[in-house]
Chain A
């Protein structure tokens, strides 16, 4: 039996889909796991685009929920990464086309076949969110170091706790160490003080993420950048490995620490 993780944030545009894509590729390509990614953003689907699989969609999540096809027919195998599949969202319907009971059933079926089921949740707290969390056992909350994103993350953590989904970890995305150093950006401790959930990883802001997202090839495998390394570390933590997380101290040499921690500075480069 695999585990079902929902990747969620409350606020839009913080990097849920990018995180889902990178973790999916990371788990499949680096760890050799069987991974299913499910796009629950019905009507605004993106995960297929970020994965470069848009042109292969025949059936989608709504077709599966409504019984127009079998689950296996709708899953798109990513040929570049052995073991990685995508269940795309429908683009011509809306969030109400699927209900939480159907999602529970689909997640239950998927976890019998796959080691990891990654649910890409839509922004917001309405039906789409309820569908996405319905079948999940664990949650990964993505936030950015902005008060609005942290506020929304807090809100959805509260909603998930109320649904007894309490295994929640946090990815802080688009961290800019220079800004933190100048005191212009919330640091990891500020965010954790409010959200008080364990940190799964901190991903620095990096152009390579934008470029790879546009190309449809998640950065986690190829790139030597900080951000790609951060996703590799997160992948290993999801597998239960204890990969140390260097705390960012406002008065310390953050960039240096960050480099070392990400494994691309000092001795660890070689």
Chain B
């Protein structure tokens, strides 16, 4: 039988992405991850990683094992765990479990749904700087203006050519999008970019980049969204149906 890599570590723009095989026995997968981390002998110490567990759904015990392997044994901060099949990820982006929701992470509470907590409750080794609140912007972004936000971004206005929106989560534009967007900028490949009218210069989702075709790009006057499918940024109509 062909030997398979059960754990792959990749560097991404904002840290490391750990891809775990979703078919093998979880213990074996973790074992291989442990080996890899050990052979790297402290290289990842202090780093921040996102773990993609593929289609596998981690139960509480498995989550705790993973968290403990990374943090206790190697001093690696776990930013988030991504799970679910690619088809499910889009619909279930709320299911992404930020580290502090994991059992053993030291805190309860559903942070992904925006439960504001005072900074004092933060555990010292994992400051909650990545509070994933949604940023609302109530104006048009013009050329040269740039928005950078760790959570999702909602813009009530246009995003003009030459403007740039970078978000850790999704980007939703209630207006015409003509600029550059980077959703899931910390490696969340299931992030989406949606706009009332989508005519972008360039779209980036996690590490995937798509650009407008050189010729014949026609602007459709219906809401559309961009997402990653099979390693490519694709644009689709928004799932909702218009009235009438």
Cross-chain contact A151 with B162 (CB below 8 angstroms)? yes
Query: Which residues of chain B have C-beta atoms less than 8 A from A151's C-beta?
Result: 143, 161-162
Does B142 count as interface, using CB distance less than 8 angstroms?
A: yes
Q: How far is the CA of A36 from the CA of B130 in the complex (A)?
A: 53
Query: Which residues of chain A have C-beta atoms less than 8 A from B144's C-beta?
Result: 125, 155, 158-159
Digit string of A144-176 for contact with B (CB within 8 Å is 1, else 0)? 000100011011011101000000000000000
How far apart are A87's CB and chain B's nearest CB, in angstroms? 30
Q: How far is the CA of A166 from the CA of B160 in the complex (A)?
A: 18
CB interface residues, A 41-73, toward B, < 8 Å: none
Q: How far is the CA of A29 from the CA of B123 in the complex (A)?
A: 73
Does B158 count as interface, using CB distance less than 8 angstroms?
A: yes
Cross-chain contact B158 with A158 (CB below 8 angstroms)? no
Q: How far is the CA of A179 from the CA of B140 in the complex (A)?
A: 30
Q: DSSP class of B's interface residues: helix, strand, loop or mixed?
A: loop
How far apart are A11's CB and chain B's nearest CB, in angstroms? 11
Digit string of B110-145 for contact with A (CB within 8 Å is 1, else 0)? 000000000000000000000000000001111111
Cross-chain contact B162 with A194 (CB below 8 angstroms)? no
Does B204 count as interface, using CB distance less than 8 angstroms?
A: no
Given contacts A159-B144, A194-B178, contact A154 B158 (CB under 8 A): no
Q: How far is the CA of A147 from the CA of B161 in the complex (A)?
A: 10
Other-chain contact of B161, A125, A154, A161, A196 (Cβ < 8 Å): A154
CB interface residues, B 175-195, toward A, < 8 Å: 176, 178
CB interface residues, A 189-229, toward B, < 8 Å: 193-194, 196
How far apart are A151's CB and chain B's nearest CB, in angstroms? 5
Other-chain contact of A154, B139, B162, B176 (Cβ < 8 Å): B162
Q: How far is the CA of A125 from the CA of B178 in the complex (A)?
A: 22
Query: Which residues of chain A have C-beta atoms less than 8 A from B176's C-beta?
Result: 193
How far apart are B174's CB and chain A's nearest CB, in angstroms? 14
Digit string of B200-220 for contact with A (CB within 8 Å is 1, else 0)? 000000000000000000000
Query: Which residues of chain A have C-beta atoms less than 8 A from B145's C-beta?
Result: 158
Determine which residue in A125, A157, A161, A194 has the highest number of CB atoms from chain B within 10 A of its CB, and name it. A194
Query: Which residues of chain B have C-beta atoms less than 8 A from A193's C-beta?
Result: 176
Other-chain contact of A155, B139, B143, B158 (Cβ < 8 Å): B143
How far apart are B87's CB and chain A's nearest CB, in angstroms? 36
CB interface residues, A 112-171, toward B, < 8 Å: 125, 147, 151-152, 154-155, 157-159, 161
Cross-chain contact B143 with A196 (CB below 8 angstroms)? no
Q: How far is the CA of A193 from the CA of B162 in the complex (A)?
A: 15
Q: How far is the CA of A161 from the CA of B143 in the complex (A)?
A: 12
Q: How far is the CA of A157 from the CA of B178 in the complex (A)?
A: 17
Query: Which residues of chain A have C-beta atoms less than 8 A from B142's C-beta?
Result: 154-155, 157-158, 161
Minimal Cβ-Cβ distance residue in B for A196: B140
Digit string of B158-170 for contact with A (CB within 8 Å is 1, else 0)? 1011100000000
How far apart are A14's CB and chain B's nearest CB, in angstroms? 15
Minimal Cβ-Cβ distance residue in B for A194: B160
Cross-chain contact A155 with B162 (CB below 8 angstroms)? yes
Q: How far is the CA of A194 from the CA of B160 in the complex (A)?
A: 7
CB interface residues, B 79-119, toward A, < 8 Å: none
Query: Which residues of chain A have C-beta atoms less than 8 A from B141's C-beta?
Result: 158
Digit string of A239-261 for contact with B (CB within 8 Å is 1, else 0)? 00000000000000000000000
Residue pairs across A and B with Cβ atoms less than 8 A apart, 10 shown, are: A125-B144, A151-B143, A152-B143, A154-B143, A154-B160, A154-B162, A158-B145, A194-B158, A194-B178, A196-B140
Q: Given contacts A158-B144, A193-B176, could you give 10 more A-B pairs where the C-beta distance is less than 8 Å?
A: A151-B143, A151-B162, A154-B143, A154-B161, A155-B143, A155-B162, A158-B141, A158-B142, A194-B160, A196-B158
Residues in chain B within 8 A of chain A (CB atoms) = 139-145, 158, 160-162, 176, 178
